[in-house]
């Protein structure tokens, strides 16, 4: 076929839309389950004999040197470095596809100094939690969403695709083994970190010919701020930009944010509120929500939109939007209905709402920090006070948080709370 005859994949407008075309082609090529939705003329000549990621081929190698579980208060917990006994690994090669995944003892990886990830940031990850319910069952919260997002992220940085369902099965297999020993206490969680890296040892800016997927579980200190999060709005650096990769959970988004974050902390704030041309995008590595009375007097819950691909499509964000639409948009007894709005809004909008007494509450939302009330936003030499009328939170923030807690820890039976059958009966 002559190059001029190549038509871009569906959804791609111009032959010069390189990233969109490459991403569409990659998804079609590497995740057959998604093929139907993506036309793939660019890759129609490619033989897809590469082996897909297949959780049914998982090989088990148990640890012979089990570690000790730290007790509450052990300083190791605060370091977020203590992992559980096992991890999942799987290696992909451009010539053969995915090898058999393994569950094996937690331990160091071995990488060539020329490994792609060490030079070109070919890394993406997910952040999830496993929860020990009040009913003693082990749960994940919407793991399908995390696994699908991991595919979006890996594709964005030219790492191989996979069927998200297979990744979900691998995560479940791992926590079925480590859950009973490492997460015995009702109402607690461990953090899960599925990761993929370009592990091929070869310099040269090129798509890595080898990638390694791994899944680890760690302890994490309780995050959040009892007095509410204090945010410092950054008026110089930006986290993400149009056409960039702010929507992907790729490591390259985070290293460059550390200087601003360190500076914010040194000044007594907890997180950076990231802006783009004055528009509010995200708070640190979590999505940002504000609740206010609109100028017309409507109660609104507002958060930045996904359409311009500047912000991360948070699972917590999505869940909050869906639950508030279901449960608040018609008004609770004795309360005004709440309008749920995904739209661009600016720091100037916040300043005006504060000055006019229309600000009701604000919070940051993500898996790590969960739902965290915001008490202060610093912007242009001013500390804007955000009400926390219940002392440690605003009422809607507390309500939304309690809904999610109930689903995560099994107080409310909900399709988002996925129960994991453990190896040893608990």
Ligand X SMILES: *Cc1c(COP(=O)(O)O)cnc(C)c1O
Q: Give residues in contact with ligand X (CB under 6 A).
A: 127, 249, 282, 285-287, 312, 314-317, 366-367
- The residue among 163 and 282 lying less far from ligand X, judged by its C-beta, is 282
Give dist(CA 376, CA 283) in Å, integer. Answer: 12
Burial 353-385 (b: 16+ CB within 10 A, else e): bbeeebbbbbbbbbbbbbbbbbbbbbbeeeebe
Spatial contact of 91 and 97, defined as CB atoms under 8 Å apart:
no
Task: State which residue, 398 or 404, has the beta carbon closest to ligand X.
Answer: 404
Tokens read off for 90: 């799987």
Rounded-to-integer distance, Cα 298 and Cα 294, Å: 5
Q: How far apart are CA 122 and CA 25, in angstroms?
A: 19
Alpha-helical (H) ranges within 329-386 are 347-355
In this structure, the chain runs to a length of: 426
**To the nearest whole angstrom, how small is the minimum distance from the Cβ of residue 128 to ligand X?**
8
Tokens of 46: 């490619």
Nearer to ligand X by Cβ, of 29 and 303: the residue is 303
Name the DSSP class of 7: P
Q: How far apart are CA 221 and CA 206, in angstroms?
A: 38
User: Least distance in Å: CB of 312 to ligand X?
Assistant: 4
Return the SS3 of 144.
helix
385 forms bridges with which residues in the sheet? 376
By C-beta, is 42 or 152 nearer to ligand X? 152
C-beta of 299 vs 397, nearer to ligand X: 397
Cβ-based nearer residue to ligand X, 192 or 315: 315
Report in angstroms how near the CB of residue 240 gets to ligand X at its nearest. Answer: 8
| Residue 86 beta carbon to ligand X: minimum distance, rounded to whole angstroms | 23
Least spacing, CB of residue 282 vs ligand X, in Å = 5
Minimum Å gap between C-beta 232 and ligand X is 16
DSSP SS3 for 26: helix
């Amino acid at each position: 076929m002559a190059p001029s005859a190549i038509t871009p994949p569906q959804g791609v407008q111009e032959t010069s839309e390189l990233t969109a075309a490459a991403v569409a082609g990659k998804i079609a090529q590497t995740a057959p389950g998604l093929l139907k939705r993506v036309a793939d003329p660019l890759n129609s000549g490619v033989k897809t004999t590469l082996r897909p990621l297949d959780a049914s081929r998982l090989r088990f190698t148990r640890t012979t040197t089990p570690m000790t579980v730290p007790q509450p208060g052990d300083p190791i917990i605060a370091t977020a470095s203590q992992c559980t006994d096992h991890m999942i690994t799987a290696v992909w090669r451009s010539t053969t596809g995915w090898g058999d995944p393994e569950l094996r003892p937690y331990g160091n990886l071995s990488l060539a100094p020329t490994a792609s990830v060490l030079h070109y940031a070919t890394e993406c990850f997910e952040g999830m939690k496993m929860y020990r319910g009040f009913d003693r069952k082990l749960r994940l919260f919407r793991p399908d969403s995390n696994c699908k997002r991991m595919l979006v992220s890996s594709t964005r940085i030219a790492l191989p695709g996979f069927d998200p369902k297979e990744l979900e099965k691998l995560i479940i297999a791992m926590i079925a083994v480590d859950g009973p020993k490492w997460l015995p206490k009702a109402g607690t969680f461990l953090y899960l970190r599925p990761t993929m890296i370009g592990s091929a040892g070869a310099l040269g800016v090129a798509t890595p010919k080898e990638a390694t997927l791994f899944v680890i579980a760690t302890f994490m200190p309780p995050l959040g701020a009892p007095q509410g999060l204090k945010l410092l709005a950054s008026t110089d650096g930006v986290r993400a930009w149009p056409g960039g990769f702010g929507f992907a959970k790729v490591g390259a988004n985070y290293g460059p944010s550390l200087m601003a974050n360190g500076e914010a902390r040194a000044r007594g704030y907890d997180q950076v509120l990231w802006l783009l041309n004055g528009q509010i995008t995200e708070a640190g590595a979590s999505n940002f929500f504000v609740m206010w009375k609109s100028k017309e007097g409507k109660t609104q819950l507002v958060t930045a939109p996904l359409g311009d691909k500047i912000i991360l499509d948070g699972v917590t964000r999505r869940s909050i939007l869906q639950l508030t639409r279901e449960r608040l948009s018609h008004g609770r007894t004795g309360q005004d209905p709440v309008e749920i709005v995904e739209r661009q809004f600016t720091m100037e909008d916040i300043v005006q709402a504060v000055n006019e007494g229309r600000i009701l509450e604000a919070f940051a939302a993500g898996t790590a920090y969960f739902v965290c009330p915001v008490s202060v936003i610093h912007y242009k030499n001013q500390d804007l006070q955000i009400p926390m009328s219940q002392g440690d939170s605003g009422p809607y923030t507390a309500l939304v948080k309690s809904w999610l807690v109930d689903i995560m820890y099994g107080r409310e039976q909900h399709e988002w709370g996925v129960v994991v059958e453990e190896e040893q009966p608990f």
